[in-house]
Copies of this chain bind each other. A is one copy, B any other.
Amino acid sequence: MLDERKLMVLYAVIKSYIESAEPVGSRTLSKNYELGVSSATIRNEMSDLEELGYLSKPHSSAGRVPSDKAYRLYVDQLLKLNMAPMDDIYNRKIKEILARESWNMEDLIQSSAKILSAITNYTSLVATPKLKGSHIKQLQMVPIDGVGVLTVIVCNNGLIKNSIYKTDYGISQDELNMISNYLYHQFKDKTLDDILKILNQGRIVLYQFDDDFLKGLLNALTDVIKELITIELYSEGITNILNFPEYKDIEKAKSFLSFIEDKELLINILQNTALSDDIDIIIGQENIYSPIKDISIITATYTVDGKTVGKIGIIGPTRMDYLNLIRILKIFSRHVSNILEKNV
A142 on interface, CB distance cutoff 8 Å: yes
User: Which of A4-12, A146-154, A277-285, A288-296 is near enough to bind chain B?
Assistant: A146-154
| B144 contacts A154, C-beta separation under 8 Å | yes
Give the residues in chain B near A144, CB-CB below 8 Å.
Answer: 138, 140, 152, 154, 160
| A261 contacts B242, C-beta separation under 8 Å | no
Q: List A144-168 residues whose CB lies under 8 Å from chain B.
A: 144-147, 150, 152, 154, 160, 162, 164
A307 on interface, CB distance cutoff 8 Å: no
The residue in chain B whose Cβ has the minimal distance to the Cβ of A237 is B261
User: Which of A82-90, A197-205, A248-256, A327-335 is near enough to bind chain B?
Assistant: A248-256
Q: Which of B140, B239, B250 contacts A242 (CB 8 A)?
A: B250
The residue in chain B whose Cβ has the minimal distance to the Cβ of A101 is B219
- What is the oligomeric copy number? 2
The residue in chain B whose Cβ has the minimal distance to the Cβ of A223 is B104
| A254 contacts B238, C-beta separation under 8 Å | no
The residue in chain B whose Cβ has the minimal distance to the Cβ of A173 is B173
**In the complex, what distance in Å separates the CA atom of A242 from the CA atom of B247?**
13
| A253 contacts B242, C-beta separation under 8 Å | yes
Give the distance to chain B from A222, nearest Cβ to Cβ, in Å.
12
Task: Write the A218-251 contact mask toward B (1 if CB under 8 angstroms, else 0).
Answer: 0000010000000000001111001100011010
**In the complex, what distance in Å separates the CA atom of A261 from the CA atom of B257?**
13
A258 on interface, CB distance cutoff 8 Å: yes
Give the residues in chain B near A253, CB-CB below 8 Å.
Answer: 242, 250, 253
Provided the pairs A138-B144, A154-B144 are in contact, do residues A261 and B239 lie with their beta carbons within 8 angstroms? yes
Give the residues in chain B near A150, CB-CB below 8 Å.
Answer: 142, 150, 152, 162
Give the distance to chain B from A137, nearest Cβ to Cβ, in Å.
8
Give the residues in chain B near A160, CB-CB below 8 Å.
Answer: 144, 147, 164
Give the residues in chain B near A242, CB-CB below 8 Å.
Answer: 250, 253-254, 257
Give the residues in chain B near A145, CB-CB below 8 Å.
Answer: 138, 140
**In the complex, what distance in Å separates the CA atom of A145 from the CA atom of B150?**
15
**In the complex, what distance in Å separates the CA atom of A140 from the CA atom of B149?**
12
**In the complex, what distance in Å separates the CA atom of A248 from the CA atom of B258?**
16
**In the complex, what distance in Å separates the CA atom of A26 from the CA atom of B82?**
70
Give the residues in chain B near A154, CB-CB below 8 Å.
Answer: 144, 147
Provided the pairs A138-B146, A140-B145 are in contact, do residues A238 and B261 lie with their beta carbons within 8 angstroms? yes
Give the residues in chain B near A248, CB-CB below 8 Å.
Answer: 250
Give the residues in chain B near A261, CB-CB below 8 Å.
Answer: 236-239
Give the residues in chain B near A238, CB-CB below 8 Å.
Answer: 238, 257, 261
7 A-B interface contacts by CB (under 8 A): A104-B223, A138-B144, A142-B142, A144-B152, A160-B164, A162-B162, A242-B250
Shortest 5 CB-CB contacts between residues of A and residues of B: A239-B257, A142-B142, A242-B254, A239-B258, A160-B164
* A residues apposed to B, CB below 8 Å: 104, 138, 140, 142, 144-147, 150, 152, 154, 160, 162, 164, 223, 236-239, 242-243, 247-248, 250, 253-254, 257-258, 261
6 additional A-B residue pairs with CB within 8 Å, beyond A140-B145, A238-B261, A242-B250: A138-B147, A140-B144, A239-B254, A239-B261, A242-B253, A247-B250
